[in-house]
Each structure stands twice: as structure tokens, then as C-alpha cells.
A and B are shown apart, each in its own frame.
Chain A
Amino acid sequence: MTHTDPQSIGPEGRAPTSRPTLCHVAARATDRTVVAIAECLAPDFPRLDPATRAVVLADVTAFAVSQVGALPDFLRYPYRLALVAFEWLAVLRFGRRFVALDAARQRAWVELWTESPLGVTRNFVKLVRSCALLAFYDHPALQDALHRQAARGAAAPEIAPPAVDAAVPAPHVGAVS
């Protein structure tokens, strides 16, 4: 997988101009939020050694950032506003911004938005989740791990099936047929 470094893509999914503007600075700030959400949503299966997982997560988060930057203008600006809200509303609950929380609290905050009765908050998380899952499972290192797992045969599942079929939102990004 050949990902472009989000810094070289620029804040709006495009190559940067020579002087950063206020818009660029704001975009970079929200990119940090996207990175943190994507890291929260990266699955645990298959298990990877820490070094490989770090490489994979770097590429996954870069992909999520580039995808948010690639949204059409009329969606990207509201989405960045929502990222700001997501970042700072965490202060009301935990006393700190989202990116400053520990991993457990970050997961809890993302879970809260994912399970919210408001469709808009569920869709907000759904976008990053679908990007993260796609980039995660199509990463070359993950594919190697998946093939190793497949070669071992039908090992005991590493993810326990849920007791009940719960409701989780669908992303609004599409796969290609």
C-alpha cells in the first residue's frame, strides 16, 4: 500500500500552498482528531506485533485523514466543524479534549457517539470507521497476517460473537463493484 503522507496532501486533500493560512491550521488541528478516532476504531483482529501494528495504524490514520480531506467542499467544512465539536465536547464529560484523553476514555467517547440516538452523530463516526476498516484490512501487512491465519486453518475465533444482534450504523461510503 502506498499512502501519501497527510502533511504532503495538505489540509483539504490537496497539495499545500507555500504559506499556511488560518484554514490550513484549523484543518490540521481537526486532522489530529481524525487520527485519534481512527486509532480507536482500528480492530484487534488479527493480532499483530506492536511494531507492525504501529506501521499499519500510521497508514490507516493517514488514509482516514486524506479521505476526510477529499470530501466535497460542502460536506468537508461541516464535517470539520463536527470534528471540532467532537473534540471539545469531551471536555464537558472528561474535563479534557478528546486527543488528550487516555485510550480507554477515547474509546468510551467514540462509543457514546456511535451509540447515540442522533443519526448525525452515528454518521459522523461511521465515516471514519469505514475508512479505517478498509485501510486496515487492505493493508499489505494485514493481508500477510490474514493469510497466515487462514493457513493455520479454522482456528478458534479471536472475536467472540455477540450474544444478540445489535444495531450499529452503516457508513455512507461505498465500495466499488
Chain B
Amino acid sequence: MTIGVDVPHGAHGLETEILVVGSGAGGSVTAAALAEAGHEVLLLEEGPAADTSRIATNSTEAITRLYRNGGMTPILGRQTVAFVEGRCVGGSTEINSGLWHRLPDDAYHRWRADVLLADFSPEGMAPYFERIERDLSVSLIPENQIPKSSRLFRKGIEHLGWEYQQVPRCQKNSGSQFAPGAKQSMQRTYIPRALASGARLLADAKATKLATQGDRVVGVHVLRDPYGARRRVEIRAETVFLCGGAIQTPALLRRSGVKRNVGESLRIHPMIKAAALFDEEVDAHEDALPVYQVKEFWPTITMGGAVFTPGFLAMILADSWKAYQHAMPDWPRMGLYYAGTRAMVRGSVRAIRGLDDGVVIRYRLSEADRENLSTGLGLLGELLFAAGARAVYPSLTGAPILRSADQCRGLVKAPIPLGSMALSNVHAFSTCPMGENRDVCATDSFGKVHGLRNLYINDASLIPDAPGVNPQGTTMAIAFRNSEHFMHERRSLPARGRPATTARPAYLLTGAPGWLGTRLAETLMQGPTSGVLRCLVRPSDDARGLERLSERLTLSPGDLTDPPSLRDLCRDAEGATLFHVAGLIHPRLWTRDFDRVNAEGTRALLAAAEEARVRRAVVVSSNSPLGCNPLVPGHVFDESSPYDPYMGYGRSKQRMEALVHEVQARGRLETVIIRPPWFYGPHQPPRQTLFFTMIKDGKFPVLGDGTQRRSMAYVDNICQGLLLAAAAPQANGETYWIADARPYTINEIVETVTEVLESFGFACKRKQMRLPRAVGEIARVVDGALQGMGLYQQKLHVLGEMHQSIACSIAKAERELGYAPAVALRDGMATSIEWCLANGHHI
């Protein structure tokens, strides 16, 4: 194994375009995909660059050199579980059995529902699995090479009539199946490919902390420990991919202060083992790789064969050594097997302050897990006796030798105490789940860490829950998918400083590919105009849908908080119309972000537009600067209503409107302010889909009697208003409310959505969660107190508004602009739900 790079003595670090931390299944695929596409990649590995083709996978040498903590990493809880993972170039793929599973179909649906994972389907992932399966030579062992221990196992399964499968493996089918180097680990496949494409590899280098500036990662602090001469260096990178696995990735993030939904939801597949004694010689030591798994009880319980050496047998017998040691001389007639379960609860990963390698893993197995493990062991024993076993030695403290199937059935009836089980685990995932549900996910649907613009995760920690199968295949396929998504973003976005397009734009747009922004872009591109539309797109946004809209649409990379990128957006845009739709409604945590984006971002954007001699800016505000309607029956806001901003968001939008008025007063740029209330329609974010789900499930909180009114705005109606505001000369300097024709009561909204959902075949609960108005009032007070401390909590904030009326009049827009909303609530909601169903949103 060639080490591609070292840190020269005296140097403090290295620089690269893309840094990939971790060289296991996720990291190697990421490095290869990016390097082969021409990116400059540095692959960092904490462990040594030991050539694993020269080390027997299950030898004590391998355990010492290739395993983290010598294979003795504990998962703490009601019963300690021994966790085994690799710590070497190639990661756990160098020490595992190379089992290959595709992600089961049920997981796609579950993940789309649970974490709102976008763009993730069996059809979409199949090409990635197929490509990796070719690269890793995934194949089944021919019948004549199936190990004897596995044939006995199959005999037992078939005797009982259970469902089973032969599991394919990543292996070259030449010569001995089990020769060192036959397994197609990362050292045999993707790492050489990455290096051949110019990637560099730095082994013996542990990433200890991320270096951040604002919302960007600028590098990684690294501890070099090759020959005992510890050195701390920094590697600076434009983009960082964390691929250290489900334990090390969250530990690094937490050490670096990135904690939201990180390390909170560990899932594992704990297993318990047993040795079986047969009458005939099994010679399991000659057959390193057992091949069958029982699927009869999957996903709750899986059973299969375990790797056998006399040493591993002794370790299993060591659990009751005094009673079991007499079995050692019979080792040629013994085989090792396991029963595993998809554990039910969620564990945690925590970094210990001050210790670079201090990681505490906790997983408190539930009673259900205990019963499943106990049942699994009982069923395994029954199977082994059906296969002809004379005795079974379970990996239990103080347990008797099992001498009959009846005895095994007893384990199913009376579950074993957790304390006597010797458990191990080789699969860990879900510590940084991906998806659009920000309440539980650490990253978006493509591994980009929430809140950081250039930090990605691409390893098993993204997997939203326990899939019930070996996760290597899923991890690799997801890593490929996410790498391609990243590259697509890069390709579609020109580098900073270059003009986004040579064509002079007729329209500029911020806020795409967001909800309203995308719909407006569609409207502009489908309309009769032929002008070019230039969209400001954040580097982290998925802009593929936008790109496909029209050849007249171009993308300009940037962000409202990045003034140079706003000047790029407005370059050569003299006479153009700017639609400023972007805004921050729900910040991650801090209310200060409202002002940073909504007010200061608008100030910088309008300054750039003035400088570029843009003709008119149509700026989208909100109902929030005016707060909620007073308790006057039938009251509606109009354009003359006084400001009474609601919380931090309302204040930031009020400031934004004031800045627009200032620009208007300078006379260099025409401005129009549009105030849409709560909008709905296609391209909606997951929070709006959640609104549908809550109504369907009867969990939408209706505060009070539900007669409070809400103006709502279907996105096409808003687009109509925006285009009219852009075109009408008399709109210059004006403010307009744009909404549906009339306000609706909460009861009406809920009833309409329920009926529409039912028309789509959903079974809806007719009764919603009815709460007193005081609940909303309490939420408002607590929200106010939190925001006073600078903190924002989305659900609390939304609940605090739910008992209020927010209704407006669109009379001025109708009168002056000729605005005539074409879509009303029922049709708009139907279109929204149809869009959700067509785009994989699970209601």
C-alpha cells in the first residue's frame, strides 16, 4: 500500500480541495468518486497503512494491528456489548467477512416516512448497487465450495422448513475462496483507484477537531502518530467529508461543537454466539466464511454461521470455561454460530472532553431486545440440533450445556437475564441520520451537515435506522449517490468570481430552489417572456430541478450573507427585474440569524442591485411585521395597518421593509414590497407535508374553538401578484398584501385538507387534537422568553401563533394591480397533495 503523502517536517499542515476523513467503505468510495472526477482529494486515515493481503483477517496480529482498541471497544448499558470495528487503511472492510446485502425494500419506504429522506428509492439506488457489485466482484460461492459447517447449518434449516438465503460476498472467485487478498476490501478496490486518479492518502493521522469559521469548515486538526513522535498538524480544505463510521464521525463532530442530532440515535445489531458439537468432523477452521443466514424471523432475528478458529472457539467457551473447557479437544467437530437482532432502542455516542480518543458509547438494551436475543439463541439451538448437533455451548455465563432441542425451546419460554449474555456487535449506524426532518436529522438527504456550508458526512452514520442486514453495501451505495450529488452541484455552479452566464439577464431571483422561488422560476420560464433568468443558489442547495426548467435559466452560486456573491448575481443586469424571495423563517437555533439574513442580506442585495442599475426590486416580506389581528371581529390588515412585529422574525422583516423604503427614497432602484401570509402549494418543504400528516392522523392542534382566521396564499396566486408588481408602473414604491381571495377559519382549513386527503384515498381521523387557547398563549410567552435569550424553537413558535387570527385584505392589489387570485383553498390543497405524492413525500 503506497502512502500518497506525508506532512514534511517543519511544516504545520497540508492543503487540499476535498478532505475525506476515514478510508473505510464510505470514505474510499467518496475519495475514488471525487478523484476520478478530477477533484483534488486527500484521504485521511487514523489507522496504519498495513497491507492486509499479508495479514490473516482473524489472527491475533490482525486484532492487534487492524482493530480499534484491539477489538475491545465496549458499548456500555444494562449489559456491555463488545463492539468490533477496523482501524486501518480500508477500515472495517479489511476485517469483516465481506458479506454483501442490498438495502431491503421496506427501509426505503420507512426512511422516506420517518426522516423525510428525499430522492431515495429502490429504482434510484439500484444503479449504485450494481456498479459497486461489479467493482467488488460480489458473487455467491459455488455449491461445491460451500463449507461443511454451512452445509450442516442448511440441513438444520431445511429440516425445520425455515426460510434462508445464501449471502453473496465481495470476493474474487479465483483460486482459494479464502486466500488472503481474495476478499475485495477497500485496499483491493477503491483506494487504489482513488490513488491512481491522483488522490493522496495520509495514514496514521487522526482527525481530532474541525476548524470552523462562521458556517464554514476551514480545516481539520490532525494528530500524526506514525512512530510515536506525536505531531499536531492542520489540514486546510475547501470541503470536508467525514467518513469515520458511526462512532468516530459523531465523536469528531461533538468534539467540534456540532451536536444537533449528532450521536443521539445509535442503532446496532447485537448478537449472541454458540458453539455446536457434531458427531462428524466439521473442520470449520478450514472454511473461514460461513454462507447461510436464516431469514424466517427477519428482521427481528437473524441467524448464521460465525468465523471459526480454535482461538475463537475458546473465547466462546470462556464464558463458562470451567464447565465448557472439556470440549476443546473436540474442536474439529465443532462450529460457531450466532443469533442477532435488530435492537429496538436508540443509544448515544459521546466524546470525552480532553481525550483525543475518548469516546463513550451507550446502548441500553430493552426488554424486547433481551427477549429477541433469548428467543434467537433458543431457535438457533433448535436449528443446530435439527442439523445433528450433539451439544450446544451458548455464550452465556453460568448456563448449562444444551443437550436437546427441548432445552433450547425453554430459552424461548423463559428469556435469559441480560447479565448472563456475552454479546457482541459489528454493525453500528444512525448516529448522524440524513433526511429533511430537521427534528431528528443531522444532515440533509445527501449528507450535508445542517448549519455548515461545506461539511458532509458519507458513512454508516447517515443510515436512518437499523436496516437488519450488514450495512456495508448500503453505506457504499449511499456514499456513491451523495458524492455524485455533490459533484453535480459543483458542476452546475460556476466558481466564484466568474460571471454565471454571458447572457444579460432579464430577471434575477433569490430564494430558488426554495418553495416559492422554484414556483416563480417555473412561472417565468413557462410564460411568454424570452428573457434570461439568473438564480442565486447556495452551494449546498440541490439545484438539479431548477436547471432542468429551461436553457434560459442560469445559476449563480452564493448566499445572502456573502456580499461578493450578490455582486456576481447582479453583474451585467442593468434594466433587469429582481425578485427577492429568499428569507429565513425558521433558524436552526439563534434568532440573530433573522437579522443577518433577512435584514442585512437584503441590504447587501439591494446595494448590489443599485450598483448594477437593476430596474426594479420586488421584495417578498411577510405578515409578521404586523403581528396578529386585534381582537376585533372581522378585522383584516391592509397596507395602512401599523407595524406590530411578531417576535424576532417579524422584527427582521420590519427592518427589511425599512431598508427597502430607504433604497426607494434614494431613487436609483424602483421597489415594491409584497406581503404574502402562510403559503401553500407545490415544492413545499417537509414541514408543510408534516402539516398534512398531522391532520390525517388527527394530531393537528386546534386551539380554542377553531374560529380564528388565517389568510393563506397559494403559490401560483403569489406568483401572479409578483409578476404584476414587477410590471405595473404604479406599483413603484408601494406595498401590497397578496393572498387568496378571503381568509379561512382554522376549522375550515382542517376540514378542507381532510376532505382532500380522503379524496386521495387517505384514511383520516376526523377528530383533531383540541386544546384550550391558553396553550397557545403559554407557548407564545415561552417563545418570547426564549427569543429574548436569543434562542429559537420552531414548534413552540408555530404553536404560539395558532390561537391568533392573521387575516388581510387584498383589495389594494386587486384595485391597483388587477390581481385576481385564481386558485382557492380546496383546489390549491389538492394540487399540493398531488405534488407530495408525485415527489416521494410521505403523508
Residues of A near any B CB (own CB < 8 A): 1-4, 10, 13-17, 43, 45-46, 63, 66-67, 70-75, 119, 126-127, 129-130, 133-139, 142-143, 146, 149-150, 155, 157-162, 164-177
Contacts and interface: CB of A to CB of B under 8 A. Distances in A.
Given A43-B328, A70-B69, A157-B329, A134 B60 contact: yes
Given A63-B60, A142-B310, A72 B425 contact: no
Interface of B: 57-61, 63-64, 67, 69-74, 80-84, 95-97, 225, 227-230, 271, 273, 281, 304, 306-307, 309-326, 328-332, 336, 338, 352, 355, 357-360, 395-401, 419-426
B71 A138 contact: no
A4 B420 CA distance: 34
Nearest to A111: B322
Given A67-B63, A73-B352, A138-B309, 18 more contacts: A2-B61, A15-B228, A45-B328, A45-B329, A63-B60, A67-B72, A74-B355, A126-B318, A134-B312, A136-B314, A137-B309, A159-B328, A162-B326, A173-B72, A173-B315, A174-B425, A175-B315, A176-B95
A167 B320 contact: yes
Contacts of B422: 170-172
Contact of B310 (A4, A138, A172): A138
B97 A168 contact: no
Contacts of A143: 310
Contact of B315 (A71, A166, A168, A171): A171
Contacts of A150: 281, 331-332
B311 A137 contact: yes
Given A63-B60, A73-B355, A133 B314 contact: yes
A129 B318 contact: yes
A157 B424 CA distance: 30
B71 A169 contact: no
B273 to A, nearest CB: 7
Given A143-B310, A176-B84, A176-B307, A171 B424 contact: no
A74 B360 contact: yes
A137 B304 CA distance: 23
A11 B312 CA distance: 26
Given A130-B315, A143-B310, A176 B72 contact: no
Given A73-B355, A134-B314, A170-B397, A1 B59 contact: yes
B401 A165 contact: yes
A44 B58 CA distance: 23
B97 A177 contact: yes
B355 A175 contact: no
21 contacts: A14-B225, A14-B228, A17-B228, A17-B229, A72-B73, A72-B358, A130-B315, A133-B318, A134-B311, A137-B314, A146-B331, A150-B332, A157-B330, A165-B323, A167-B398, A168-B321, A168-B323, A171-B318, A174-B84, A176-B57, A177-B306
Nearest to B309: A138
Q: Which of B95, B315, B422 is most buried by chain A, counting CB atoms within 10 A of its CB?
A: B315
Contacts of A14: 225, 228
A43 B328 CA distance: 10
A170 B60 contact: no
A175 B316 contact: yes
A63 B225 contact: no
